[in-house]
Amino acid sequence: MDDPNVVRIEQKLEAPGRLLFFTLDDAAAFLIPAAVGFLSRHLISGAIVGLIVFFFWRKLKGEGGVERLKAAAYWYLPFQVSPYRAFPRSDVSHWRG
């Protein structure tokens, strides 16, 4: 079993991290508003806001996940507010060399 010539290949290299059965970004979408509600002694309203944010986040993410949101941020946000300023600009259609 410990043969040095055997290479083990992981099956899910790009699987997102999980907290119970939620992905980390889904869990954060619920837990952050719920924690703020708990700390401000408004637990029920914080949990309700957390659920609303959670379902809105799931709807926004859709099937493409966070990768689709990152791609949309690159293509649709103006260069001045884009988190990807180190990348080539997405609004330039022809580069002159």
Residue 29 forms part of a structural domain: yes
Q: What's the average model confidence in pLDDT over 68-86? A: 82
Contact partners, residue 66, CB within 8 Å, separation at least 6: 16, 25
The pLDDT value recorded for residue 94 is 77
Q: What is the pTM of this model?
A: 0.63
Query: Is the residue at 85 inside a domain?
Result: no
Please give the pLDDT value at position 82: 77
**Domain-embedded: residue 55:** yes
Total domains in the chain come to 1
pLDDT score, position 52: 96
65 is a domain residue = yes
Assign 1 a pLDDT band (cuts: 50, 70, 90): low
Q: Is residue 88 part of a domain?
A: no
Q: Which pLDDT value is given to residue 38?
A: 93
**CA torsion, ordered 27, 29, 61, 80, to nearest 10 deg:** -130
Q: What is the pLDDT of residues 20-75, one digit of tens each?
A: 888 888 899 999 999 999 999 999 999 999 999 999 988 888 887 788 888 888 88
Amino acid at 48: I
| Structural domain contains residue 38 | yes
Q: State the burial class of residue 38 (Cβ atoms within 10 Å of its Cβ: 0-12, 13-18, 19+).
A: middle
Question: How far apart (Å, rounded) are the C-alpha atoms in residues 92 and 29?
Answer: 34
Residue 72 lies in a domain: yes
What integer pLDDT is reported at residue 42 of this predicted model?
93
